Amino acid sequence: MVTIADGFPAKAELEASLKAYARAWPGIADDVKSGFGKIGYERPRTKVHLKLRGLWPYDEMGKA
């Protein structure tokens, strides 16, 4: 999920590009989840950083 500020000048274009990308590569969501999942547990600060920004739905140990 991506949130684009209403005041961003190219909001419509960016949203259209992201939707087109998802249509062209339907497996991208699984690829991104897999990539996030490969961030090792030895790097909990990275996962905390992502969680604070709403980009990681799990705790630093990968639990929901």
60, pLDDT greater than 60: no
What is the number of domains present in the chain? Answer: 1
Q: Give pLDDT tens digits for 12-52.
A: 999 999 899 889 998 987 887 788 778 777 777 887 788 78
Q: Does the residue 5 lie in any domain?
A: no
> Which residues constitute the domain of residue 54?
27-64
Q: Does the residue 63 lie in any domain?
A: yes
What is residue 63's DSSP assignment?
-
Q: Give pLDDT tens digits for 23-32.
A: 999 898 788 7
pLDDT at 11: 95
pLDDT at 16: 95
Buried (b) or exposed (e) across 29-61, using 16+ Cβ within 10 A? eeeeeeebeeeeeeeeeebeebeeeeebeeebe
